[in-house]
Structure 1
């Protein structure tokens, strides 16, 4: 596919992740918002999605519980603030590993399609640069990259279709 994840710091509080997929954006949006598809790609290799709930409406919640080899679990969850199918999702996100006062981040996913290639841009705005930098140092880039590689496989549209 030749598509790779770009992860950059933006300003003092944000991480901007960009990746292109050889698929129409409606399909990428569905893979992001339908539990039966999200279970297949979310998280790094060697990580199982043991819980995946998506209530796709403004005010609705999403929740992923991941289990790494050895039984270590991580819970990620959020509340949708904005939904524009198939181009934009905004949610207020939390990670149970973070202090509640600093643990929320605003995540925005935008999808833009050109000639059957969808570019996904995910901007995550944290409450402090300390939290943002800790997330970057946690190995998040590898995990997101591996998850997006799996996403690319499930949404790939064969050439000529």
Structure 2
């Protein structure tokens, strides 16, 4: 399915990462890896709780300049090794969030050189939340992910 993107509310990019697709998948789906790339440094992820299945939780806690932020969400789609879709619009058990921020769509393909074609899309409810996300360092997670994954055994 090709997404019809709205530049007012959606952010998206495609990059080729110099790490194998399976390693990128492991980084996104194993809790011990998430703190190494998920939020722009110097901010930190202090906890991660993953139940990798449709309807399963993707919960993270951030420390942003000393402010603790709880982020709860669920997986909407899981295609092993290829695609993750998650949102904070719901928490586990399909409980709606009062003020959701985004839905993330990650798509992974093999690159010809053994790397990964990595497409990240973030869909927001409003132009204001899209702008806020862009100002938070949109795209930084992919750069940090590549650097971290390159440090791991292949």
TM-score, normalised by the number of residues in structure 2 = 0.77
Tell me, in whole angstroms, the C-alpha distance in 2 between the residues paired with 1:141 and 1:32: 22
Which residue is 2:24 aligned to? 28
Report which of the two has the higher share of strand. 1
Displaced runs of 4+ in structure 1, greater than 6 A? none
Deviation at 1:42, TM superposition (A): 1.2
Deviation at 1:108, TM superposition (A): 1.5
Q: Secondary structure at the match of 1:63?
A: strand
Tell me, in whole angstroms, the C-alpha distance in 2 between the residues paired with 1:104 and 1:137: 11
Which residue is 2:132 aligned to? 138
Q: Secondary structure at the match of 1:148?
A: helix
Deviation at 1:104, TM superposition (A): 5.5
Give deviations 1:121-150, integer Å, cap 9, x for gaps.
Answer: 122223x3xx2x223332535533332222
2:145 is equivalent to residue 151 of structure 1: yes
Q: Is the 8 A contact 1:21 1:156 kept in 2?
A: no
Tell me, in whole angstroms, the C-alpha distance in 2 between the residues paired with 1:141 and 1:19: 19
Tell me, in whole angstroms, the C-alpha distance in 1 between the residues paired with 2:36 and 2:151: 17
Q: Is the 8 A contact 1:76 1:94 kept in 2?
A: no
Give deviations 1:48-96, integer Å, cap 9, x for gaps.
Answer: 1111111111111011111023x1123333211211110011123249x
Deviation at 1:106, TM superposition (A): 3.0
Which residue is 2:94 aligned to? none
Structure 2: runs of 5+ lacking an equivalent: 91-96
- Structure 1 77/143 Cα, relative in aligned 2: closer, same or farther at 3 Å? farther
- Structure 1 13/102 Cα, relative in aligned 2: closer, same or farther at 3 Å? farther
Q: Is the 8 A contact 1:29 1:87 kept in 2?
A: yes
Tell me, in whole angstroms, the C-alpha distance in 2 between the residues paired with 1:18 and 1:67: 28
Structure 1: runs of 5+ lacking an equivalent: 1-8
User: Matched residue pairs, number?
Assistant: 143
